[in-house]
Amino acid sequence: MAVMLGAELGTCSDTLLATIKGSRQAIKTGLFHVTFNLLSIALGLALFYPFTALVKTISGGASVERTLANAHMLFNIFGVLIFIGTIPFFEKQLNRLLPDKIG
């Protein structure tokens, strides 16, 4: 599951590469993706053992592949549920960092 957390961070590189020479909105999206994933991963590491126990309980005697798929799905669902209320805060901070109009 630790590898899954690393893969979550790895997906950010694609998003950031896609924002090169993009609009400010594209860059903000890439930065939000990185920030969201870093915070989710930090929380996932802080709660690694309880999360692992939950995944094992939910997965029962499933294969390693199925257990990992369950972990990935739960990790992403929990991340969204935990951080959905902070979207306005992040939007405000990104607009402050990268305003649409310079001047």
Each of the 103 residues of the chain gets a pLDDT tens digit; together they read 888 888 888 888 888 888 888 888 899 999 999 999 999 999 999 999 999 999 999 999 999 999 999 999 999 999 999 999 999 999 999 999 888 776 5
Helices (runs of H) and strands (runs of E) counted in the chain: 5, 0
The span from the CA of 56 to the CA of 19, in Å, is 37
CB hemisphere CA count around 8 (13 angstroms): 27
Question: From CA 74, how far away is CA 72, in angstroms rounded?
Answer: 6
pTM: 0.82
